[in-house]
Structure 1
């Protein structure tokens, strides 16, 4: 977002907005130690974390989740994510890191602070730092120089301790080679696949077996809970009313994103990673690697396969697909290349801060501009529907207040002129016909106990209020009611057991040195052979992921696994056919990204280990009451 705003900055207002974002980001890095204000959610070694500080971080984190989910987040999801616990953990860990930085004696000198301020482009005029502009912007943001620089000093200190800890991480060439060969050595296997379905017809369980199975698994056959309700419905029917031209225009302008869609393009890429600060020799070699891949792509080799084999980006698993994007959503050099291409065209080498890209334009989605006249019918329906919902809610709210005042659903309905309806006993999966259009009300009913009144329930067709007259909990049915289900489940289980036994017998004979093809022929099974695959390309095989992972562990000394592999009621008997190591040229191309990945993992582990040590040594108290009140 920051880079996007910088690119689009064309006015003092937008430029000031960029600065404010930067300031907020820096100042939201907690200035551990608090400011002595009342309201403390926790103390870490007698250092408080204020409620205000917690609330700011919580709001920021919640906003990030909202951006991800493109709107409101259900309260149930917030609860499941444990958002408050997440935020508190982050603040505690950052406090500990900063305390350890100060205890270690890591300094942030005045020169470093000055250099950090002066390096911010937002405080420069004509290429030079402007003290007056610096003070003006801070004043406009209601920040003193002292407050801003205190926050910045804290941020610099946090970075220093992280860099200090990461500096202890080391990766040897032996570790790089081991990880490289783990990911890129290839195998080809022969295997038998025995499916439970192939053994189904041989199963004919006795009555005694069915009864025993039912007794052992009664929990699987409990009846569904049932309820009996009284309920009121407030359908949000479209209302009949005239709309002014101003209403239509206002709605159209407020929702221009729906009616004006800019051109979007879908592209795929192959990325050879390279850091700007890498030695020139390394950069040259990486560029040459990109040039080699580019030549293969232009010679007609499948772009998806090239991406899978060569791209050092997460998109490689999808053939390098970047999906659709519009201008302003990609790195600028990549965007410029894509929007200058025609579908099917392959770019030259495009250099960004990530490295060297080879891009193919897949598709262009033309811009859409729907005029007010073209959208008028849809807008009219939307406005009337919205007003209909509002009227339905107002009516439901009046009736609900009446119910609470009179203590009677029936009297509230009578006063509000709404028809009170009742059901017989029903399960959640088979509601009465009138409630099928209101599944949200049905779901809410099964969350209530007998004698409980719901709140106003929002449904897709309006609103509802329900009262649970009776509730019946799950019960164990007589076997006669579910005997067909029990028999089918038992046959399914017996079929899987028979398939597993057959596979285990074959595996035992295979481990004794017998030939897989002869064993398969004798039993009437078909031996299958995989293509060559590695850890990096296992997803492209027909084998389930778990089976492919086991296959990659087989060696010439141990060509057969210790046990049968299973996935989705299929059982696999495996034997290594061939194994070949990845060649040295491939290692030279992958060595640096593999080393970077290993180093990053070690750095993260180093930081995590240090934090865990600090947590064990720290004295931390949490004010649960203060947290609940926020």
Structure 2
């Protein structure tokens, strides 16, 4: 909600009010009925939050989650999110903010309301505001001019209180530099790794320890479901037929677009991120940064180096390489630029929804056609595959009909001469060899109950019909059946504990002034040196995240960490070697984005603090049992 309010404060709400006004007022106010609706879910300082408006807002939020999750929202997720309470809290916060705007005495003049109305395209004719069209539009929406203009006045008032509040947020140069150095100062560390696997030899857990581990972790040894099947396979490959030259030629003609490869281009880019929600001054600054990078590239600076230094895209590590793409495969502004350039040429700065791009064309792959002779073997394979699948499906249908007639898979297969196969018990992850090319059949088998027959199952290698003879459900086996695995797991845990103890002893020795190289030599472990890295470059290292995080917390004054970082069964002993501050060139690049990020965080904090204060001072009453089911 706070991010939404901030965007409203700086969005083109006044210049392009159509979307907000139409959605908020033509649909919202009529549903409220002007009297708070048939009931309330809460009151905020004696002002009602109507049940009808709450339900509308809840359904809108629910629809947003459905869109994000592909149309399905698990009930467990809704419960975990507490979505109803989230929506109600947001509505209460909005009312508190609007109430405070009224009591603060911020003015909204009739002229400001009129300016908004006159700027709306829905009320204009031939470029001019039409009073008659205005009245007709509102009447069609069953909305009075008084209600409509009151809604606009409230939205303007909300905007003004947000602008008033965020005016208290300030970011100093010192804060920008502090954040820059936190993110971009670099360190180098020396470290060694103690692998738990190296401590495993010689560990012999006692019978009592093994039994206790089994007792405490029995669920870890629960078996997977297992099934025993009868089945018939219909392999498409076994039904191959001769393919004539005429069939090959017809297929080639009918699929000619597959054999005409259009021109493709490979480009690199440098992205300076921005979005439509950013204020105009921020977008202008981002464009200016991109144009500065373009000037550097045109002056001869290495494009790959510039990408590593400036680009805010994941492709920066590859010098901004976008790979080959054809028409219709890339964002339109990038595509149009790339297809207008010569190899090695730089384009003008272009904008997409991701921000501003500097683009260089790297390579051109000309359009070409694959001849019939070149495509012949591929076409034969495709036609044989299609023909084989048709014949296999026809055969599967014949056998399935016989199974239904005869009353069993075995008799139906025998009556049609199909080969009946059977299996011993197996788990989903370990199917018999003859079923490994038919994973869809394996999946279908574990969806069936004991004694159940499948339909015709379409698999990557043909078709299958399956009958589940027996099914074993998961169970915890007796300890004597899994003792070897229990003992092995316990040895792994003991080895990890031993490796951790050894690493902690080394760390304690380092704190006492011991030399890391001597400790490593005694332990027979090599000492490695990291490259320079910072918080923003740590992810590019071949170094586990816990180790890089620990290293970034070290300094000349605090050269060893407080604890031993661990990852993937390895325990790391590390020591700070040297550090250096981020360069002024980097600061010039990042100062603007850092300032914007800090300012947005402070603006949100100011609004949140104010709303929390209003909530503590106000009277919020929830209606018992008012949430719609």
- Please indicate the TM-score interval, normalised by the length of the shorter structure: 0.5 to 0.7
Deviations 1:328-385 (A, max 9, x none): 787776554333224554446567898764323345566799999x999999999999
Q: Does the CA-based 8 Å contact 1:276-1:353 persist in structure 2?
A: no
Residue aligning to 1:244: none
Deviations 1:531-590 (A, max 9, x none): 221111112322212211111111211111112111111221111111222244533432
Aligned mates of 2:90, 2:132 — CA distance in 1: 32
Q: Does the CA-based 8 Å contact 2:271-2:355 persist in structure 1?
A: no
CA separation of 1:481 and 1:34: change in aligned 2, threshold 3 A: same
SS state at 1:48 partner: helix
Q: Give the alignment of 1:24-103 within 5 angstroms.
A: 26=23, 31=28, 34-35=31-32, 43=41, 45-49=49-53, 58-59=62-63, 62-63=66-67, 65-66=69-70, 75=72, 82=78, 91-92=87-88, 95-103=91-99
Residue aligning to 1:218: 218
Measured after TM superposition, the shift of residue 192 of structure 1 is 1.5
Residue aligning to 2:247: none
Q: Normalization by structure 2: what TM-score?
A: 0.66
Aligned mates of 1:555, 1:104 — CA distance in 2: 48
CA separation of 1:102 and 1:294: change in aligned 2, threshold 3 A: same
CA separation of 1:30 and 1:261: change in aligned 2, threshold 3 A: farther
Aligned mates of 2:271, 2:160 — CA distance in 1: 34
SS state at 2:361 partner: strand
Q: Superposition RMSD on alpha carbons, in Å?
A: 6.3
Instruction: Please identify, of 385-394 and 600-609, the stretch whose mean Cα deviation from structure 2 is larger.
Output: 385-394
Deviations 1:418-443 (A, max 9, x none): 99999775433345678766655655
Aligned mates of 2:395, 2:84 — CA distance in 1: 41
SS state at 2:28 partner: coil
Q: Does the CA-based 8 Å contact 1:264-1:327 persist in structure 2?
A: no
Structure 2: 5+ residue runs without aligned partners? Answer: 1-15, 43-48, 242-249
Q: Give the alignment of 1:508-547 within 5 angstroms.
A: 508-547=508-547
Residue aligning to 1:556: 556
Residue aligning to 1:187: 187
Aligned mates of 2:563, 2:137 — CA distance in 1: 67
Q: Does the CA-based 8 Å contact 2:263-2:364 persist in structure 1?
A: no
Structure 1: 5+ residue runs without aligned partners? Answer: 1-18, 67-72, 241-247, 404-408
Q: Does the CA-based 8 Å contact 2:554-2:576 persist in structure 1?
A: yes
Q: Does the CA-based 8 Å contact 1:456-1:463 persist in structure 2?
A: yes
Aligned mates of 1:383, 1:469 — CA distance in 2: 33
Residue aligning to 2:202: 203
Q: Does the CA-based 8 Å contact 2:205-2:487 persist in structure 1?
A: no
Measured after TM superposition, the shift of residue 596 of structure 1 is 0.8
Q: Give the alignment of 1:1-400 within 5 angstroms.
A: 26=23, 31=28, 34-35=31-32, 43=41, 45-49=49-53, 58-59=62-63, 62-63=66-67, 65-66=69-70, 75=72, 82=78, 91-92=87-88, 95-105=91-101, 112=112, 115-116=115-116, 128-129=127-128, 153=152, 166-200=166-200, 202-205=201-204, 208=207, 210-211=210-211, 213-227=213-227, 266-271=267-272, 277-278=280-281, 286=289, 289-290=292-293, 293-294=296-297, 298-300=300-302, 303-312=303-312, 316=316, 319-321=319-321, 334-347=334-347, 357-362=357-362
SS state at 1:534 partner: coil
Q: Does the CA-based 8 Å contact 2:213-2:486 persist in structure 1?
A: yes
Deviations 1:247-291 (A, max 9, x none): x99xx89x9999998856543214387988449997898478536
Aligned mates of 2:518, 2:552 — CA distance in 1: 24
Residue aligning to 2:6: none
Aligned mates of 1:132, 1:376 — CA distance in 2: 68
Aligned mates of 2:68, 2:304 — CA distance in 1: 33
SS state at 1:188 partner: strand
Aligned mates of 1:257, 1:35 — CA distance in 2: 57
CA separation of 1:462 and 1:379: change in aligned 2, threshold 3 A: closer
CA separation of 1:329 and 1:596: change in aligned 2, threshold 3 A: farther
Q: Does the CA-based 8 Å contact 2:538-2:548 persist in structure 1?
A: yes
Aligned mates of 2:98, 2:285 — CA distance in 1: 38
Measured after TM superposition, the shift of residue 193 of structure 1 is 2.0
Residue aligning to 1:570: 570
| Greater Rg by CA | 2
Q: Does the CA-based 8 Å contact 2:451-2:467 persist in structure 1?
A: yes
Aligned mates of 2:280, 2:543 — CA distance in 1: 41
